[in-house]
Amino acid sequence: MHVFKPTAVALKEKVELFGGSSVSPKVVKLTFSLPDPTSSLHSLGFDLGLGDFVRFRFPGTRARAYSPTSHPSTIGTFTIIIRVYPKGQVSPKLAALDLGDKADVTGPLPVPWLTRKRNVTKHLALVAFGVGITELVSLLRSELLSDTLESITVLWCLRRREEMTIGSGLDDYSAEKRIKFEYAFSRESDGQRADAGLIQKIFSHLPKAETAVCCVGTKATERECYGWLNKLGYKQRLLKMGIRFGGRTKSPLWASIEK
Ligand SMILES: Cc1cc2nc3c(=O)[nH]c(=O)nc-3n(C[C@H](O)[C@H](O)[C@H](O)COP(=O)(O)OP(=O)(O)OC[C@H]3O[C@@H](n4cnc5c(N)ncnc54)[C@H](O)[C@@H]3O)c2cc1C
């Protein structure tokens, strides 16, 4: 694959993780074969621990970004989990692919690169909105390999409890003592929308100087969420946009994979 040159990849497997409801579109897991069956996303230069993503486009559509959820060392394939917006340009076309059908993908992206915070971070405060959780999968894998990490608190905001089936496409963290998951369900009768009060309740125990934050969702929800965290004094972001002199520092996930 190449940042600027589209590569055709064939769909190998399709699994529905959430069938959709009156308030949320469905979610599917798609696995594609890489053109070279001996390659992996890692060998193609993707540092998923830094938030690298692929971009799909179809003839006549805009390109859309997707965060692979498979391990970067997986040979011959990669997987994405997508929410299928019925009126969307790209997601319904991806979901309509049959096994063996091809789609054009570019990557690794983004350009300019995201870089990981270099200062010592002991605690992470992460907030994911809906299918945005896909963007945290590789970050979690990577940060759990960091020597300095003591705790990760994840707040996952969904509309309804039933959408938690999306998590069956993610890693199993049940044996990992350093991760704590919290949930907020905006459309349940006993639920709660994410707001400044909830953010304070979930994260205010974390020491401000040693905590980095990351929010993933739509641009608008991310902005709002960073605003709440900022007001509480959590100002250090885990990932930052920008090209560093001498190249970017590779993530712990990248470093863990043998050449
Ligand atoms: C770095 C990055 C990584 C991403 N990773 C993933 C991923 O792993 N999985 C994934 O599903 N998406 C991911 N996205 C979002 C993805 O790129 C597309 O924006 C999304 O699939 C919608 O594209 P579309 O062309 O289908 O819909 P569009 O044509 O963009 O939208 C059409 C309509 O769909 C609705 N819609 C679109 N997006 C949203 C939304 N977020 N919330 C509510 N309604 C919406 C709106 O009504 C909109 O008018 C990522 C985005 C970024 C920036």
Q: Where are the domains of the chain?
A: 7-109, 114-241
- The alpha carbon of 227 and the centre of ligand 1 are apart by a number of angstroms equal to 22
Q: What is the pLDDT of residues 214-238, one digit of tens each?
A: 999 999 999 999 999 999 999 999 8
Res. 174: pLDDT tops 80: yes
CA–centroid distance, 217 to ligand 1, in Å, is 9
How does pLDDT run across 113-154, given as a tens digit for each residue? Answer: 666 766 668 999 999 999 999 999 999 999 999 888 999 999
Q: What is the mean pLDDT of residues 39-50?
A: 94
Distance from chain centroid for Cα 35: 23
Residue 85: alpha-carbon gap to chain centroid = 18
Q: Nearest to residue 157, comparing CAs of 127, 112, 119, 199?
A: 127
Counting from 1 in the atom list of ligand 1, the atom nearest the Cα of 93 is: 26
CATH code of the region 7-109: 2.40.30.10
The pocket around ligand 1, CB under 6 angstroms, is made up of: 53, 64-67, 80-83, 85, 87-91, 131, 134-135, 218
114-241 has which CATH code?
3.40.50.80
| Residue 19: C-alpha distances to residues 65, 83, 151, 165 (Å) | 22, 10, 33, 10
Whole-angstrom distance, CA of residue 188 vs CA of residue 209: 35
Q: Is a pLDDT exceeding 70 seen at residue 246? A: no
Q: Which one is predicted more confidently, 111 or 213?
A: 213
What does the pLDDT read at residue 4?
78
Q: Can you tell me the ipTM of this complex?
A: 0.93
Query: What pTM does this model have?
Result: 0.94
pLDDT, tens digit, 9 for 90 and up, residues 194-211: 999 999 999 999 999 999
* Collapsed DSSP state (helix, strand, coil) of residue 175: coil
